[in-house]
Amino acid sequence: MEHTTGIPLLGDKFPQLDVQTTHGKKSIPGDYSGKWFVLFSHPADFTPVCTTEFVGFQQRYSQFKELNCELIGLSVDQVFSHIKWIEWIKENMDVDIEFPVIADTGKVANILGLVHPGAGSNTVRAVFVVDPSGTLRAMVYYPPEMGRNMDEFLRIVKAFQVSEKHGVAMPANWPKNELLGDRVIIPPATDTITAKKRMERAAAGEFECYDWWLCHKQV
């Protein structure tokens, strides 16, 4: 059953948001139909960790776009503050922020569970990865003092796309797993007949197995 109130759950349809951004008014997820998007919140404009994060996301923006994935920022700040901060980043760091930033009054933050009780009005560092059908696929929350690793979100989007295309699972640290490198995991057998055939297929060279429940291949 689809979860409909409070913080969205993995597998839910992403909540409908009609928002003001630095690129004008947008309807999310509707305006991004057919695309992946990563929506990330930051505690506030003109703060040091958030500034480094925006630069980091922008420097990888072309890589996200190659994956048919857009970026969307958000904080509980007025659009004027966002615009001035983006101008400051350009003037002082020579980085153009090309993705939109949502100017939230607190409504979106409440819908997505971005404000921790007792922590003031600043949003936490949350990340939502949403697929082309508008379904929430991954969600990560960080405390205010912890800057994010932008390469991890690229990895998440790439991993979902490979998983869906080939019907496989991804090992830890893919594509640089300590045991398998960039190989992927074949979902384990769920009955004895399939388990036996799995090993027969491995012996025939279709893929490799440590055992019937841990088989892997190159894609």
Active site residues: 50
Angle between helices 48-59 and 79-93 (to 10 degrees): 70
**Cα separation of 177 and 30, whole Å?**
36
DSSP secondary structure letter of residue 14? P
Using alpha carbons only, what angle is made at residue 101 by residues 96 and 104, rounded to the nearest 5 degrees? 155
Bridging pattern class, strands 214-217 and 184-186:
antiparallel
**Cα separation of 157 and 112, whole Å?**
20
User: What order of strands is seen across the sheet that includes strand 208-211?
Assistant: 184-186, 214-217, 208-211
Peptide bond into 29 cis (omega under 30): yes
**Cα separation of 28 and 35, whole Å?**
11
- Helix intervals (H) in the chain: 48-59, 61-66, 79-93, 107-112, 150-166, 192-203
